Structure 1
Amino acid sequence: MRYRRAGMAGAALWAIAAAPDPGVEAAVRAALAQAPAGTRFGLVVRDAGGVERVAIDADDRFVPASNTKIFTTIAAFANLAVDGSDNARTGVRIEGRDVVLVGAGDARLSSAEDCASDCLSTLADAVAARTRVVGDVIGDDSAFPDQRWSPGMGWNNIVTRYGTGISALTLDDNELALTVRGEDGKVVVSGSDYYRIDNRVTVGPTSVVTYDRMPGSDLLRVSGTVAAGADERIRVGIDDPAHHAAWKLAKVLRSKGVRVTGRVAVRHRPYRAVEDGAVVARGVLPPMLTRTQPEPLEADIMVTNKASQNLHAELLLRRVGAVEGTGSIADGLRKVSAIMSLAGVPRTAWDLSDGSGMSTYNRVTPRAMVALLGWAQAQPWGAAWLETLPVAGVDGTLARRFKDTALTGKLRAKTGSLAGTSALAGTMTAASGQTLTFALYANDIPEGATATAAMDAALLAVAAGL
């Protein structure tokens, strides 16, 4: 564990004196009033001295959406070795005539033709160097319990890249990139033959392509129109990532002259709530032929926060949960709970069901989030963690927000977005030059509307006034 355990420090972060600025709060409220009717806001701003300067419904509970990744990535910094010494490395071994691809939570294994590191082809080369004939090709993701989707995630997201299955064995972000092209009066869908394609796309004046698939089905229906000569890219989710990874390894092996005589199979570890804290007995297994070597963990956390990558966040939570646990969602959240206690946050101020923010069961108060952010900044790795957040008007999910404003390059924050929800929490440099820590949530946004402009205007008012 890589965090300070000072008992009174957390309590101090929570029970801090308030010195509200009426003028700033009035300007903030005026900005938020421009949001669609019915939108519910919560905001807390603390100054460089840790004093609360703005508090609007500070203890109300809000759906945080991808702000949830703040909890997860802080827990990763606090519990995992970011220098890569405990990287979750994918391995391959031979058991009799069978090849087993073994996942350990690595989020970056790639089958791309231009792959330079953490490559599936490296593992296939090791097999091809040992044998020219194999039986079954097995994907083993039993390092974590089989919890492919978290409680509270909308089932309609499963077909998309945002809701793809979570697995200890992950390849190409557990998504398929397909190309829809209109040419010579017909439409071709290409990129992978993993799914059966029901192609209902027609050539039209504009390109509007949609897709759907029932959970558990291998039939992907692609509909809509595509302009003649145009290429439309769609990225779809995968229900059983271990099976897909093994299926892809079998294809790569064949391309290297290895004959695959068996089938593609999987090894899952069923999740049972009673198993939390238990050790799974695996017996004596043959040694790995080789393992991949991903980049240091900090690089993955950078991707997770800047791009708001759901799969990577979920794998981080499970890896945290594998520290003195089974790698379940519940075990990961126990580590988060320990951090929240150290930050002095009451248990009633937050609830989580996942590591990415796709769950609508997640709740947090603005005051709780600001306390967590303050605790993280006081850690030895706090500055490194802040560097992983998007920068206003510069990169990540904030590249187009606060552009050409007083906060361009001066605000680092994690975004969050779900139906009816928008979130932003992090730090910013005010006009006075001091660093402010803030958490701003908008819930109950009417369908088809947005509260982003009002939120940004409110934060600009804070920065100008403090």
Structure 2
Amino acid sequence: MKKILLGLLIALSSCTVQKINSSIKKSEVFDKGHLGFMLVDPGKDKPLVAINSDKYFIPASNTKLFTFYASYSILGDGLVNGLNYLEQGDSLIFWGTGDPSFLHPDLKNDKVLEFLKSSKKDLYLLDNFDQVAAFGPGWSWDWYNAYYATERSAFPMYGNVVRFEKAKEEQRITVIPERFRTSLSGKDNENWQGFQFRRERFSNLFSYQISNEKVDEAFVTDIPFITSAEMSAVMLLELLGKRVEVIKNESYLKLDPMKLQTHSVDSIYSQMMKISDNFLAEQLMLLVSDQLTNSLSPADAISYAKENLLSELPDEVIWYDGSGLSSRNMFTPKSIIALLGKIREAVPLEKIKAYFPAGGESGTIRNWYKADEGQVPYIYAKTGSLSMANSLSGYLITKSGKILHFSCLMNNYAIPANDLKTELQKVLYFIHDKY
């Protein structure tokens, strides 16, 4: 009898897998572009579904899965090194590690500020900004005004953005940091729909316009500002009430500095993954580089990760930045599936659930992949989107309690992204319900 039941279960499982394959291959939606899909039950010897799984695709923000794994492997889940510094006589010489949390409007870390305030020594900011290009390789020049392409830098302050916000029915716009209020000009515009803030391309001058109909509505908008060592020194002077001098002396960068631990990296992982924060992803790779070499090189951090953490992946990863903004990044579904397995081995499931967006509940998939009413989420996965790419990769929990690994990469679709998500939602729910 047991053999009969086992045979029946295998037959039912095989039938389900065939239906999953068929629903994907015969989909009129998925047929309109290039699709890579892989579904794995870690307890099985071979994939349940493998469609173009060894082909390369532009992953968009699925790149953050690689950034997360590299960061978690090198930085762990404790405190980040928020500042490098040397004490020489009556001088405190300090420089940035790439830590994005310093005075960030969401993370609100002021440990570096308190450390510098408490010092009785003369303060010198060592300029290592040249180690970091503001934009990553392959980024578009016209993204300068968009939060998703906030400048990378060695010593970020306030997340390298100006936050403009207004409560409902309030007339005054709050500006964080306040110093940029005098750089803001704007007006109500009866011909404008909604509200818009912009920065001039080559200067920290900002403007806005708000329609008369929207003037009483609440909003929060983050716009990148242009940063530099000199700008950082001025902002520190305003906050500390004492002079901070910028120095350029590369010999200091060759010394072994003391490191100030500041902010929990857990919260950085969570915000980076949940809302797909490109700035945090880029800065995490700088923190990895600093930890490994005391220098800031995303390329070096990526090379180290490929050689020491990802060498066992089935296909070489073509990896250029931390965020996935670069269209030069290319991965195969098979390699992403292998990475998801490595993440499961290294990271406790409860932490994965805390870091990853949850279907119908949090992050970039809070409105998608909803569980049945009264049930917990069944999808924990990272999204990705560029004009030519949509992706979703992560973990699917079936009603039978199995945890499956999946990766879906979709490129060159000339249809609305919501059409792709709707079709994928049907497929993933069927797997959740039937497997």
* TM-score, structure 1 as length reference: 0.76
User: Which residue in the other structure is 1:274 paired with?
Assistant: none
User: Which residue in the other structure is 2:304 paired with?
Assistant: 335
Mapped to 2, the partners of 1:384 and 1:181 lie a distance apart of: 35
Which of 142, 162, 166 is 1:176 aligned to?
A: 162
Quick check: 1:48 aligned with 2:42? yes
Mapped to 2, the partners of 1:112 and 1:34 lie a distance apart of: 40
Q: Which region of structure 1 is more displaced relative to structure 2, 227-236 or 74-83?
A: 227-236
Secondary structure, in 3 states, of the residue corresponding to 1:457? helix
User: Which residue in the other structure is 1:414 paired with?
Assistant: 382
1:107-162 CA-to-partner distances (Å, cap 9, x unmatched) read 211176995x53454145315xx38xx7xx76445288222221011222222221
Q: How does 1:149-160 map to 2 (within 5 A)?
A: 149-160=135-146
User: Which residue in the other structure is 1:147 paired with?
Assistant: 133
Which of 128, 149, 153 is 1:167 aligned to?
A: 153
User: Which residue in the other structure is 1:443 paired with?
Assistant: 411
Which of 305, 310, 319 is 2:278 aligned to?
A: 310
Quick check: 1:403 aligned with 2:373? no
Shift of 1:72: 0.9
Which of 333, 346, 350 is 1:366 aligned to?
A: 333
Quick check: 1:75 aligned with 2:70? yes
Q: How does 1:104-119 map to 2 (within 5 A)?
A: 104-110=97-103, 115=108, 117-119=109-111
Count how many residue pairs are aligned between Structure 1 and Structure 2.
415
Which of 418, 430, 433 is 1:461 aligned to?
A: 430
Structure 2: tracts of 5 or more residues without a match: 1-13
Secondary structure, in 3 states, of the residue corresponding to 1:390? coil
User: Which residue in the other structure is 1:275 paired with?
Assistant: none
Mapped to 2, the partners of 1:194 and 1:265 lie a distance apart of: 21
Secondary structure, in 3 states, of the residue corresponding to 1:59? coil
Letter in 1 for 2:146: T
User: Which residue in the other structure is 1:63 paired with?
Assistant: 58
**Structure 1's 205 and 239: CA in aligned 2 closer, same or farther, altered over 3 A?**
closer
Letter in 1 for 2:22: A
Q: Which region of structure 1 is more displaced relative to structure 2, 387-396 or 191-200?
A: 191-200
Letter in 2 for 1:311: F
**Structure 1's 383 and 286: CA in aligned 2 closer, same or farther, altered over 3 A?**
closer
Structure 1: tracts of 5 or more residues without a match: 1-17, 270-279
Secondary structure, in 3 states, of the residue corresponding to 2:409? strand
Shift of 1:384: 6.2
User: Which residue in the other structure is 1:354 paired with?
Assistant: 321
* Residues 66 and 414 in structure 1, CA contact (< 8 A), matched pair in contact too: yes
Q: Which region of structure 1 is more displaced relative to structure 2, 196-205 or 415-424?
A: 196-205
User: Which residue in the other structure is 2:10 paired with?
Assistant: none
Shift of 1:322: 3.4
User: Which residue in the other structure is 1:39 paired with?
Assistant: 33
Letter in 1 for 2:423: A
1:239-285 CA-to-partner distances (Å, cap 9, x unmatched) read 3254444332221123xxx5x5xxx765679xxxxxxxxxx631799
**Structure 1's 196 and 339: CA in aligned 2 closer, same or farther, altered over 3 A?**
farther
Secondary structure, in 3 states, of the residue corresponding to 1:169? coil
Secondary structure, in 3 states, of the residue corresponding to 1:67? helix
User: Which residue in the other structure is 1:389 paired with?
Assistant: 356
Which of 397, 401, 408 is 1:429 aligned to?
A: 397
Mapped to 1, the partners of 2:227 and 2:310 lie a distance apart of: 36
* Residues 101 and 107 in structure 2, CA contact (< 8 A), matched pair in contact too: no
User: Which residue in the other structure is 1:281 paired with?
Assistant: 251
Quick check: 1:21 aligned with 2:17? yes
- Computed over aligned residues only, the root mean square deviation of the Cα atoms, in angstroms, reads 3.8
**Structure 1's 67 and 140: CA in aligned 2 closer, same or farther, altered over 3 A?**
farther
Mapped to 1, the partners of 2:107 and 2:408 lie a distance apart of: 41
Secondary structure, in 3 states, of the residue corresponding to 2:154? coil
* Residues 182 and 229 in structure 1, CA contact (< 8 A), matched pair in contact too: yes
**Structure 1's 139 and 397: CA in aligned 2 closer, same or farther, altered over 3 A?**
farther
User: Which residue in the other structure is 2:220 paired with?
Assistant: 233
Shift of 1:21: 2.6
User: Which residue in the other structure is 1:13 paired with?
Assistant: none
* Residues 43 and 54 in structure 1, CA contact (< 8 A), matched pair in contact too: yes
**Structure 1's 212 and 113: CA in aligned 2 closer, same or farther, altered over 3 A?**
closer
Shift of 1:409: 1.2
**Structure 1's 217 and 361: CA in aligned 2 closer, same or farther, altered over 3 A?**
same
User: Which residue in the other structure is 1:204 paired with?
Assistant: 190
Shift of 1:413: 0.9
Letter in 2 for 1:355: G
- What is the aligned-residue identity percentage? 21
Quick check: 1:253 aligned with 2:247? no
* Residues 197 and 222 in structure 1, CA contact (< 8 A), matched pair in contact too: no
1:323-377 CA-to-partner distances (Å, cap 9, x unmatched) read 4444312111112212564433222xx3111011111111111111101112332
* Residues 33 and 454 in structure 1, CA contact (< 8 A), matched pair in contact too: no
Mapped to 2, the partners of 1:148 and 1:209 lie a distance apart of: 27
Mapped to 2, the partners of 1:95 and 1:208 lie a distance apart of: 54
User: Which residue in the other structure is 2:5 paired with?
Assistant: none
* Residues 196 and 220 in structure 1, CA contact (< 8 A), matched pair in contact too: no
Mapped to 2, the partners of 1:405 and 1:34 lie a distance apart of: 24
**Structure 1's 98 and 427: CA in aligned 2 closer, same or farther, altered over 3 A?**
same
* Residues 60 and 365 in structure 1, CA contact (< 8 A), matched pair in contact too: yes
Shift of 1:419: 1.8
Secondary structure, in 3 states, of the residue corresponding to 1:52? coil
**Structure 1's 199 and 162: CA in aligned 2 closer, same or farther, altered over 3 A?**
same
Mapped to 2, the partners of 1:366 and 1:465 lie a distance apart of: 23
* TM-score, structure 2 as length reference: 0.81
Shift of 1:206: 7.4
Secondary structure, in 3 states, of the residue corresponding to 1:394? coil
**Structure 1's 219 and 307: CA in aligned 2 closer, same or farther, altered over 3 A?**
same
Shift of 1:28: 3.0
Q: Which region of structure 1 is more displaced relative to structure 2, 429-438 or 243-252?
A: 243-252
Q: How does 1:123-142 map to 2 (within 5 A)?
A: 123-127=115-119, 130=120, 139-140=125-126, 142=128
